[in-house]
Structure 1
């Protein structure tokens, strides 16, 4: 009789151990399911289709491939900025110049003229006159893609964290160069800002890079 009781207790102990093991395994799967259901790519800002191209130094964004100059420092992507590049300040300038690249999707970001005017409005002229009259404009074509350029000097209203800039700190003695390329998957926006001398040193390489862009 005692042997039967001992055998029954052993069976109960084994059953209890199996129950604990099954519960433990089930809890692990539940945790994995919750983690997979957390925030994903849809919660992040939209990224431009494509990515770094296979050739060394090339970058492809939204179907447009370009090659940043070797002298630029790449800062990677951040928020709505699909790419960022920096040029160290030339002697006498207080800060570096930067090129920020934006892409908002095939049907987003606004028209070419609206963006050129937005950039122009981020500059304040010393005499308080209309910056639209002082802005220089030009166009180019790269592999069949239309490019639009606007540039001017003045005091720059830095973005204060806003993607395309504007209504932030006033930075005197700056230069802004904005370029829109009408690419196959929507417009790409390139914005160069910085102290005037450093920005002018970066500007020719920016224009050459974009004139050599391809689909």
Structure 2
């Protein structure tokens, strides 16, 4: 167990993650998040960071999970969009938009339907009326991918804060 904890701590350090005072640094980008959100240690070496968001009416906190794989890794925007939409039991209602973050284009996918929740290679639990917010944020050498899923009504309550989070590494000049 001690060895596992040491490996997880090392993985977290190797992805350049720092969380303090409402800031989360991932791959050289500094994301600012609201005081109502909480940074928690990543639960897997695949995660570069995790923010939990308590939402009234949700049975558990939502999680915004950050992924960073390094240069040449993680696939292009369309491959990730296709993979995210494929996590639904049938084609979800979805839209893809480009958000202008002070001159930097951030891709945001919003999808709602029956989401197949569960680990990448494990059993899935269908969750009806779920929404996925997926973002592709350009980084210095590779994108940062951020994914948040949860009940449609709960996700709707944090959607504007999520969009602000995506813009935060790119302040106005």
State the TM-score, normalized to the length of structure 2: 0.81
CA RMSD of aligned residues (A): 2.6
Partner of 1:183: 139
Q: Please, which moves more after superposition, 176-185 or 71-80?
A: 71-80
In terms of fraction of residues, the more strand-rich structure is 2
Cα deviation, residue 85, structure 1? 1.5
TM-aligned CA deviation for residue 78 of structure 1 = 2.3
Unpaired runs of 5+ in structure 1? 1-39
Corresponding position of 1:140: 99
Please say if 1:63 is aligned against 2:19. Answer: no
Q: Which has the larger radius of gyration?
A: 1
For residue 88 of structure 2, what is the aligned residue in structure 1? 123
TM-score computed with the length of structure 1 as normaliser: 0.67
Aligned CA distance change for structure 1 residues 67 and 46 (closer, same or farther; 3 Å): closer
Cα gap change, 1:60 to 1:196, in 2 (>3 Å)? same
Deviation of residue 203 (structure 1)? 1.6
Counterpart in the other structure of 2:108? 149
Structure with the higher fraction of residues in helix conformation: 1
| 2:129–2:151 CA contact under 8 A, matched in 1 | yes
Q: CA 1:77–1:202 in structure 2 vs 1: closer, same or farther (change >3 Å)?
A: same
> Is the Cα–Cα contact under 8 Å of residues 15 and 48 in structure 2 kept in the other structure?
no
Q: Which structure 2 residue ranges, 5 or more long, are not aligned? A: 1-5
Number of matched pairs: 163
- Residues 165-189 of structure 1, C-alpha deviation per residue, up to 9 Å, x if partnerless? 8861111121111000111121100
- Given candidates 109, 112, 125, the residue that maps to 2:77 is 112
Q: Distance in 1 between matches of 2:155 and 2:122?
A: 18
Do structure 1's residue 207 and structure 2's residue 173 form an aligned pair? no
**CA deviation string 1:143-195 (max 9, x = no partner):** 553310111111111133x3xx8861111121111000111121100001011
